[in-house]
Amino acid sequence: MCDARAAGRLDTDWIAELDALDMIWDKRDAAWRARLTATTDYHRTHGHLAAPTTLTGAWLAEQRSLAAHGRLDPQRAADLAAIDPDWQLPHGPDWHRKYHLLRTHLAAGHDPAALDHHTVLGTVKIGSWLHRQLTHWDTLARRQQSLLTALHLTPKTHPMTTSRPGRRTFAQSAQILELFLHREHRAPAAREEITVDGERVKIGAWLAKARTKHRSGRLPPEHAALLAALFDGDWTDEATPPAALS
């Protein structure tokens, strides 16, 4: 029909009726519109445009390349943005796929608070992915933060981050050292560790650092007093036994 119009074989009234139906007369534009329709269907099914390298995926990659080089018609860019504002995948295809996988999971009624570091959706370790987003929140783009916030997933609200233990105080570390002294009847070597409540604590390195700070006059007196009470003699001397042995 496009050829018939170009050859002047179509009646003027018939052309007017087809124009009223948004007839696309240019073959290349018609092909582009067909791909746009396929893209719309893909988005309706998957919720994103991070399509793999199929016909639709390859076509989208071409449109992104054209847009990146300023050669995509503005109206075409607007048509793609109308399907998905993130059609250019500004955060990378993997990020967008995992985000929408998680979004679909939550839209099905699953509790966001139930997500933990070990959550797996299909074959995707979505829990560890989410953990990285929440613990590196300040490095995310503002749009990424906005998308996650829309799912009620932020460092301030999600148990995966809000329940993390805070940094130990000096007194708490001193208590862990005391536990080691009671168990081993000796001070820990610089590289020794102790497991407390499932967490491996580098207590030897901590004590070595405290000794160094004390020798240089940088350890507060109250901290030095806590450690001195645990040893029978000079606590900065590696050969000094624990007070429990005296």
DSSP 17-54: HHHHTT----HHHHHHHHHHHHHHHHHHHHSS----SS
Instruction: Output DSSP code: residue 112.
Output: G
Task: With H, G, I as helix, E, B as strand and everything else as coil, classify residue 217.
Answer: coil
Neighbouring C-beta atoms of residue 48, cutoff 10 Å: 22
Quick: pLDDT tens for 17-30: 544 545 544 668 88
Measured between alpha carbons, how far is residue 59 from residues 56, 89, 168 in Å? 5, 14, 54
Q: Under DSSP, is residue 146 helix (H, G, I), strand (E, B) or coil? A: helix
- Residue pLDDT, tens place only, 50-71: 998 787 899 999 999 999 999 9
At 2, the amino acid letter reads C
Query: Could you give the residue ranges of the DSSP H alpha helices within 167-218?
Result: 170-184, 203-215
Looking at residue 168, its pLDDT comes to 84
pLDDT at 21: 46
Tokens encoding 108: 């099905």
3 vs 218: which has the higher pLDDT: 218
Q: Note the pLDDT tens digit of each residue in 86-137.
A: 999 999 999 999 999 999 999 999 999 999 989 999 999 999 999 999 999 9
Q: What confidence tens digit (pLDDT) does each residue in 153-195 have? A: 999 988 887 655 567 899 999 999 999 999 999 999 999 999 9
Please state the φ and ψ torsions of residue 121, each to the nearest 5 degrees: -115, 110
Q: Which sequence spans correspond to the domains of the chain?
A: 2-83, 93-162, 170-245
Which residue has tokens 């929440």? 134
Helix (H, G, I), strand (E, B) or coil at 194: strand
183 touches 168 (CB < 8 A): no
Look at residue 195 and give its three-state secondary structure.
Answer: strand
Phi, psi of 196 (to 5 degrees): -130, 120
Helical (H) or strand (E) element with 151? none
- Tell me the sheet residues that pair with 201: 194
C-alpha dihedral (8, 12, 17, 22), degrees to nearest 10: 50
pLDDT at 8: 53
Q: Which residue has the tokens 């981050």?
A: 161
What is the mean pLDDT of the segment spanning 206-211?
Answer: 96
Chain Cα centroid distance, residue 221:
43
Q: Are 171 and 226 in contact (CB under 8 A)?
A: yes
Q: How far apart are CA 239 and CA 186, in angstroms?
A: 9
Q: pLDDT for 130-158, tens place per residue?
A: 999 999 999 999 999 999 999 999 999 88
Question: On the CB side of 85, how many CA atoms lie within 13 Å of its CA?
Answer: 3
Q: Is the pTM of this model over 0.85?
A: no
